[in-house]
Amino acid sequence: MTDPEAARAEKLSLELDSAFRNRADLYRLFLEELTAELGAEKAEAVMIRTIEKRGREVAAAAFTDFGPNDAPAIGEAFLAVSPDDGRMYPTHVERGPSHIAFKVKRCPLKDAWVEAGVGEEKLATLCRIAGAFDRGLFEATGVRFANVTWTPGHGTGCCHIALTNKDA
């Protein structure tokens, strides 16, 4: 017999993954609709602006105790709240005294887009759009932020994010 708490945790994990995949489907569908109405360039710009704004909103609540020279601490706080104890976005982490960097090995958004049959060019666009959340989130803290989102030839992983203290 399965432990009820373990079964509940597994069910919640699957539901969380499904919610993130739903978010991916919404991004994909919004991009299609906005592209039809505004053209590809404007559609991407509107989505990036909107998603980056949401990242800044989250930063205002999540990172109020941090400043522009707290890059490692901000990165650790980010990792500490990674969905499903980090299983949803597994990362390889590089740490230093004034920086922290993440190489995301798996992204449920990217997985959903691949499963939906999105081609490589559109997949790269959707990854850029989704990466705007991270830009808004981390740039709002004042740290130096770098992000390389997935592109064809990038490999099987996803984005690579680096945070560095402003004064480093």
pLDDT digits (tens, 9 = 90+) for 36-54: 999 999 999 999 999 999 9
Q: Give the pLDDT of residue 145.
A: 98
Amino acid 48 reads I
- pLDDT-derived band at 22, boundaries 50, 70, 90: very high
Exposed e or buried b per residue across 21-56, where buried means at least 16 C-beta atoms within 10 angstroms of its C-beta? beebeebbebbeebbeeeeeeebbebbbeebbeebb
The CA–CA distances, whole Å, from 51 to 37, 46, 96, 130, 168 equal 19, 9, 29, 7, 28
Q: What is the dihedral of CA 74, 140, 93, 79, to 10 degrees?
A: 50
Give dist(CA 135, CA 110) in Å, integer.
Answer: 17
pTM over 0.85: yes
**What are the domain boundaries of the chain?**
4-164
Percent of the chain residues past pLDDT 70, beyond the cut = 99
CATH, range 4-164: 3.30.1380
115 has a pLDDT exceeding 60? yes
The structure tokens listed for 115 are 């499963």
Phi/psi at 146 (5° precision): -135, 140
The span from the first CA to the last CA of the chain, in angstroms, equals: 54
Task: Name the nearest CA neighbour of 100 among 72, 77, 80, 76.
Answer: 72
Q: Give the whole-angstrom CA distance, residue 133 versus residue 138.
A: 9
